[in-house]
Amino acid sequence: MRQAEIVIAFILRAGVVVSGAIIAVGVLLYYVRVATGKSLPADTIPHTLPMVTHGLAAGDPLAIITLGLLLLLLTPVVRVAVSIGAFAIERDWRYVVITTIVLVILIVSFFLGKGGA
């Protein structure tokens, strides 16, 4: 189990660091654009995946920040998925079932959530 704990800790740490770096880049780009007087696309935060991808393609700082936040939200989901594998390797089927249920609840909550405007 020690190796699984190390991998899970790495996933959590990497998720926070990468998402934080992406958010920082987006914030920096936002303030650079404001300071130089360039107008921002609609100055609304993208709240759907198509809006985020479109904003990323256009270099929208708010889309970059949103991407960082999405990665931050996905970090614990990836941690739960990796935990399923770790419990399966240990043949701890009770925790495989429990953790799988938790993962399904997390995924369903993303699809049923009421985000946006």
pLDDT in tens, 47-86: 888 989 998 998 889 999 999 999 999 999 999 999 999 8
Return the pLDDT at 12. Answer: 92
The identity of residue 39, as a single letter, is: S
Asked if residue 69 lies in contact with residue 23, where contact means CB atoms within 8 angstroms, the answer is: yes
Return the pLDDT at 90. Answer: 86
Interatomic CA distance for residues 40 and 104, integer angstroms: 38
Average pLDDT over residues 19-42: 85
Unique residue bearing structure tokens 């240990």: 90
Four-point Cα dihedral 4, 76, 61, 27, nearest 10: -80
The identity of residue 5, as a single letter, is: E
